[in-house]
Structure 1
Amino acid sequence: MHKIGFLISDGFQIMALAPQAVFEYANMVAGEPFYALENYSVDGGEVRSSLSLAVSTRSLRGKIDVDTWVVGGVNDPLASPAPEKILAFLREKGARARRIAGICTGAFVLAQAGLLSGRRATTHWAFGREMQKRFADIRVEEDRIYIVDGPIWTSAGMTAGLDLALAMVEKDLGADAARSVAHKLVMHQRRAGGQSQHSEMLDLAPKSDRIQNALNYARQNLGRALTVEELAESVHLSPRQFSRVFTLETGQSPAKAIEGLRLEAARLMIEQSRHPLEVIARETGFRDRRHMREAFMRGFGVPPQAVRREARMDA
């Protein structure tokens, strides 16, 4: 039997416990209690979530036999750092477990305990840059659903914890079991760890229908040059007025925003298809493969080949 301990403290976000449903249904699929789950806190007893929902927990004192630790996150890890007793426990005893996972901002707890030093990790997109700023020895990849680096697992925002848990089930029980669990939980698909946390279109968040329509037009015509004049004409504005309103609403120039859309489209094609990079570059509007590589280095810090390798590893 594989024992999983969910480690939480007062103020935890209740979605940190959502992955428990994945392991519950994995037991159903396996036809036996393969996983045994227990909630833990420093002193045991009731621990309250950020919505004051009380959850019963066991104390970290005494002999504890756990194979996988799952550390829950809080809404704001900067305002609510992990208790020192939890950090000390993770350093001394938690590291002996087969694996340790940080759900969402639970990655900050692992970072504070020093368990992410020299490793790749992810967390909720809203805190990724702050994590990189505070922990320079961690390679934070803020645009990933989850990351597995040796025995350390980290996930993005709370729902990504379900994807991380499914990946654990796949590793433990096989791909067929993971697919069956996802089907029973009515999850549309198991997202690969390399999948993006967010959409470039959502990041731009224009306020007016005109700029939104211009972005829709751009996304549907990425294979073309897409000049400011063409975009402006598509929404019946002058080029000068369009550039001014676009920058005011999105905080980016039209050229930078279009490059972002091209990057997003190219990365999805790289991760989800087997098309040659030359074809992907042409289909997403880059001049050639070299031009696309330069844009990837600016935008993601890695070349297209690295994105494809990681996608194949996830697959």
Structure 2
Amino acid sequence: MHTTAVLALPDTIPFDLATPIETFGRVRLPDGRPGYRTVVAGPERTISAGPLRLTIDEGLDALQRADLIVVPGRENPLAPAPPAVLEALRAAAGRGTRIASICVGAFTLAEAGLLDGREATTHWLAADEFARTYPAVRLNPDVLYTDNGKILTSAGAVAGIDLCLHIVQNDYGTAVAADAARLAVAPLHRPGGQAQYIVRNRAPSRATALDQVVAWIEENAYRDLALADIAAAAGLSVRTLTRRFKDETGQSPMQWVAGVRLRQAQELLETTDHTVDRIAAQTGFPTTSNFRSQFGQVVGVPPGAYRKVFRPRTNRSAH
């Protein structure tokens, strides 16, 4: 039996805290014995977790006895973790203990220096902030989880279940993990990665000098647009337009157009029964094969697989 310690810090996200407790708690070996003993440990006797107040039975010394430590996310991932927690995580890593994070719990691992030089992931909404704060980490925001052997990270919320089931599979094999997945009413493996859940190229939430041309692109992305067309609509030279887009969005104008087309295609896959051929034409892709290629590269799954995830109860046309 493996002992898992779930680290409960102030302002822990309740879902993240419950994920390893519930997932590992459902693991049964072929002879009926539990596969994991799970404890909740923290630096304080009582912590807040969203609207909850939780009493913690184990102190940080429980991390010394754990085979696996799971670090949930916190409501404010940039809030400094208690020094004693960072020290305990570093000591555990030094002993070779496996340490995994759920969602923005990756910020805590990074703060402890455990992710430097390693591949890691976190919730896509926090990815830019994570990359700015911890440039030494090789962030991959497109995957559901990463496994560096002893250090593991997962993307947002439900990806924590994916990671926990991955750990179970590594520990006890596919049959035990599949049984735990069935009890959790979850797939053992989800197709694709986090990329398919990212919302792309929505208009900026604050007013910018590009508001007018961004709105124009939204309405005209289906057309065979060239950079000169966008510049003319903006009343700017190509050079000035390109500079402003780079400054305000970090992208070129044509990269922005591609993102708008992909998002509009995602929305059509989610809300209509249109064929992939029709959606490709409606959203401005030159050919269906070009659409399939770009969609697969950016979103991580083919259009048909994306539709099965986000529009599963419709009678779909051939695609």
Deviation of residue 47 (structure 1)?
Answer: 2.3
- Residues in 1 aligned to 2:141 and 2:289: alpha-carbon distance in whole angstroms: 23
**Residue 227 of structure 1: aligned partner:** 224
Q: Are the structure 2 counterparts of residues 161 and 137 from structure 1 closer, same or farther at C-alpha, using a change threshold of 3 Å?
A: same
**Alignment partner, residue 290 of structure 2:** 285
* 8 Å contact kept, 2:41–2:62: no
Q: Calculate the TM-score normalised by the size of structure 2.
A: 0.65
TM-superposition CA deviations, 1:7-65 (whole Å, max 9, x none): 1111111012222211111127762122000000124x332212233142301148831
C-alpha spacing 1:116/1:30, structure 2 compared with 1 (3 Å): farther
Q: What is the alpha-carbon distance in structure 2 between the residues aligned to residue 63 and residue 164 of structure 1? A: 20
Q: Which amino acid aligns with 1:118?
A: G
Equivalent position amino acid for 1:105 in 2: V
Taking the aligned partners of 2:152 and 2:253, their CA distance within structure 1 comes to: 37
Structure 1 alignment gaps of length 5 or more: 219-224, 230-238, 242-246, 266-280, 301-315
Q: 1:91 to 1:188 in 2, by over 3 A?
A: closer
Q: Secondary structure at the match of 2:12?
A: coil
RMSD (Å), alpha carbons? 4.0
Corresponding residue number in structure 2 for 1:34: 35
Any idea what the Cα deviations from partners look like across 1:99-123, whole Å, max 9, x if unmatched? 1001111111110111101100011
The answer to whether the aligner puts 1:52 opposite 2:52 as a matched pair is: yes
- Report if the CA contact (8 A) 1:103-1:155 is conserved: yes
Q: Normalised by the size of structure 1, how large is the TM-score? A: 0.65
Per-residue deviation, residues 123-146 of structure 1 (Å, max 9, x unmatched): 111221111112121101122211
Aligned to 1:9: 9
Q: Number of paired residues?
A: 249
Structure 1 residue matching 2:177: 3-state secondary structure: helix
Counting only pairs closer than 5 Å after superposition, residues 95-244 of structure 1 correspond to structure 2 as 95-188=94-187, 190-191=189-190, 194-196=193-195, 198-200=197-199, 204=202, 227-228=224-225
CA contact (8 A) 1:262 1:284 kept: no
| Off by >6 Å, runs of 4+ in structure 1 | 251-254, 261-265
The Cα of 1:176 is off from its aligned counterpart by 2.4
Contact 2:162 2:188 in 1 (8 A): no
Counterpart of 2:314 in structure 1 is none
Partner secondary structure for residue 74 of structure 1: coil
C-alpha separation in 1, matches of 2:187 and 2:203: 26
CA distance in 1, matches of 2:62, 2:168: 28
**Cα distance in 2, alignment partners of residues 184 and 93 from structure 1:** 31
Instruction: Please name the residue that 2:85 is paired with.
Output: 86
Change (3 A) 1:200 1:50: closer
Q: Supply the AA of the counterpart residue of 2:290.
A: G
Percent of residue pairs identical: 33
Alignment-mate amino acid for residue 60 of structure 2: L
Q: Deviations over 1:264-311 (max 9, x none)?
A: 99xxxxxxxxxxxxxxx975417xx9xx7xx96xx79xxxxxxxxxxx
Instruction: Describe the shift of the 1:240–1:137 C-alpha distance in structure 2 as closer, same or farther (beyond 3 A).
Output: closer
Structure 2: gaps of 5 or more residues: 206-213, 227-231, 235-244, 266-285, 300-319
Contact 1:129 1:142 in 2 (8 A): no
| 2:27 aligned partner, one-letter code | A
Change (3 A) 1:174 1:283: farther
The SS at the match of 1:57 is coil
Confirm or deny: 8 A CA contact 1:182 1:190 kept in the other structure. no
> What SS class does the counterpart of residue 64 from structure 1 fall into?
helix
Distance apart, 1:73 and its partner CA: 1.1
User: Partner letter of residue 142 of structure 2?
Assistant: D
Q: Cα distance, 1:170 vs. partner?
A: 1.1
CA distance in 2, matches of 1:144, 1:114: 21
